[in-house]
Amino acid sequence: MTWDDIDWSILDRLRGTFLSGTPTGGPYWQSPEDLANYDFTYGERIGWKWDQVLRELRLRGWRPQGRTVLDWGCGSGIAGRRVIAALGAESFDALTLWDHSPVACDYAADAARHAFPRLSVHQATPGYFSGTERIGLLLLSHVLNELPAAARDELRLLCVRADAILWVEPGTHDVSRQLGGFREQLRGSGFRVIAPCTHENECPMFALGRERDWCHFFAPPPAEIFADSNWVKFGHRAGIDLRSLPYAFLALDRHQAPAVPPVSDPRGVELATLDPNAPEAAAVRAEAAAAGSEHPGGAAGSALAPEDLSRVIGRVEHFKPYARLLNCDATGLNELELPKRADPALFKQLERTKAPLVYRWRREGKRILGGSPLAG
């Protein structure tokens, strides 16, 4: 596919579908051409988000242990291809693809076979879903918006079969907070949180008073697209600001690691989680225990996420004398300020860096005095 082959009418129709932002009545992919056009444009943008997530996972020194991958809700299969290309096809034995659209499954399988000729590529069968076979790495990308309640429940049960989960969603308030709800439930069922969090505590986005906040980040699109008239045309027609690529994500695994005790919120702020005691959450925990989870019923600590690391949420705002940011760490969410004169080099770095914003600060209360990025 090249820009000369693009069918703008297909992209316009898909845009209408995505904009509706609610569970769809059923599969909407009409032909392989739909998927080819999506993959080249919308899918490529999603690929840039995955690239940034994979950068962060490298920084955190994490890679999955399992050799099998399931890309659920695969669409054109961009998530599976990005992850396998980044981690090396030799790291995996098999890729399974699933989408309720058979056209999408076929397209994604063909594309994956083309990209990784030695990899065993399959489409999931009903037997796969009713079975108990472990899933080495479960990939989920931009699916939450489209799932009715029943499909979410199925997804929760599938998560329980996974040894690791990488999940990328749009960085909107609503979807990010839904993803946070999954974090809370999975954290209580034997998964440790690899990223974006630098701690294992309850997500502070669910603390009382934080209803307007949401966990999201911005990925850098490749610089050359801004001078590319085709991408500019796509941005106009799709109503997308190409400079802004907000995303939310979650990386979880069941790796055994020395436990770091959860830190309680020193301000005594009540953390209202997304109902971890709901019957469905209990069912997930019970399944995890039955599946031989390494940490049933409790959060394992992350050796990769020392408690003194911080993750910056959203963007750093720069003003003349200081920079301001929303910081998440083991003590919760805090608005911090870095006076420019405290560390001019750090101030400039925060303005320019495209890297995921994982830092170790030197702080005095809410003032940052200095700090260094996680170097990987």
Ligand X SMILES: C[S@@+](CC[C@H](N)C(=O)[O-])C[C@H]1O[C@@H](n2cnc3c(N)ncnc32)[C@H](O)[C@@H]1O
Q: Which is nearer to ligand X, 170 or 190 (CB)?
A: 170
Of 272, 221, 225, 216, nearest in space to 248 by CA? 216
Is the Cβ–Cβ distance between 45 and 245 less than 8 Å? yes
DSSP code of residue 72: E
Q: How far is the CB of 77 from ligand X (least distance, A)?
A: 7
Work out whether 299 is an interface residue with ligand X (CB under 6 A). Answer: no
User: In this chain, which of 56, 99, 287, 329 binds ligand X, going by CB under 6 A?
Assistant: 99
> Can you list the positions of beta strands (E) in the chain?
68-72, 94-98, 120-123, 137-141, 164-170, 192-195, 217-218, 246-253, 310-318, 322-329, 332-339, 358-364, 367-373
Cα distances (angstroms) measured from residue 287 to each of 159, 334, 344: 10, 36, 52
Q: At what angle do helices 32-40 and 42-59 cross, to 10 degrees?
A: 50
Work out whether 79 is an interface residue with ligand X (CB under 6 A). Answer: yes
Work out whether 165 is an interface residue with ligand X (CB under 6 A). Answer: no
Q: How far is the CB of 29 from ligand X (least distance, A)?
A: 6
CA 262 to chain centre: 23
Work out whether 11 is an interface residue with ligand X (CB under 6 A). Answer: no
Tell me the residue type at 274.
Answer: L
Work out whether 97 is an interface residue with ligand X (CB under 6 A). Answer: no
Q: How far is the CB of 19 from ligand X (least distance, A)?
A: 11
Give the interface segment with ligand X, choosing from 95-103, 298-306, 309-317, 320-328 (CB under 6 A): 95-103
Interface residues for ligand X in 174-233 (CB under 6 A)?
none
User: In this chain, which of 51, 106, 110, 146 binds ligand X, going by CB under 6 A?
Assistant: 146
Work out whether 356 is an interface residue with ligand X (CB under 6 A). Answer: no
Q: Distance between CA 165 and CA 36 in Å, rounded?
A: 26
User: In this chain, which of 41, 43, 82, 159 binds ligand X, going by CB under 6 A?
Assistant: 43
Q: Distance between CA 214 and CA 222 in Å, rounded?
A: 25
User: In this chain, which of 81, 142, 156, 285 binds ligand X, going by CB under 6 A?
Assistant: 142
Q: Distance between CA 374 and CA 59 in Å, rounded?
A: 7
Q: Which residue has the tokens 């400079």?
A: 243
Q: How far is the CB of 312 from ligand X (least distance, A)?
A: 25
Cα distances (angstroms) measured from residue 106 to each of 19, 31, 54, 101, 103: 25, 10, 26, 9, 5
User: In this chain, which of 63, 100, 173, 360 binds ligand X, going by CB under 6 A?
Assistant: 100
Q: How far is the CB of 281 from ligand X (least distance, A)?
A: 21
Work out whether 143 is an interface residue with ligand X (CB under 6 A). Answer: yes
Q: Distance between CA 251 and CA 249 in Å, rounded?
A: 7
Q: Which is nearer to ligand X, 99 or 329 (CB)?
A: 99
Q: Distance between CA 117 and CA 269 in Å, rounded?
A: 53
Q: How far is the CB of 315 from ligand X (least distance, A)?
A: 23
Largest CA distance in the chain: 62
Interface residues for ligand X in 56-75 (CB under 6 A)?
73-75
CB neighbour class for 215 (10 Å; exposed up to 12, middle 13-18, buried from 19): buried
Q: Which is nearer to ligand X, 153 or 307 (CB)?
A: 153
Q: Which is nearer to ligand X, 138 or 316 (CB)?
A: 138
Q: Which is nearer to ligand X, 150 or 223 (CB)?
A: 150
Q: Distance between CA 309 and CA 61 in Å, rounded?
A: 14
Q: Which is nearer to ligand X, 99 or 287 (CB)?
A: 99
Q: How far is the CB of 217 from ligand X (least distance, A)?
A: 16
Q: Which is nearer to ligand X, 144 or 252 (CB)?
A: 144
Q: Which single residue brings its beta carbon nearest to ligand X?
A: 75
Interface residues for ligand X in 12-41 (CB under 6 A)?
27
User: In this chain, which of 36, 46, 160, 312 binds ligand X, going by CB under 6 A?
Assistant: 46
CB neighbour class for 337 (10 Å; exposed up to 12, middle 13-18, buried from 19): middle
Q: Which residues bind ligand X (CB under 6 A)?
A: 27, 43, 46, 73-76, 78-79, 99-101, 104, 141-143, 146-147, 151
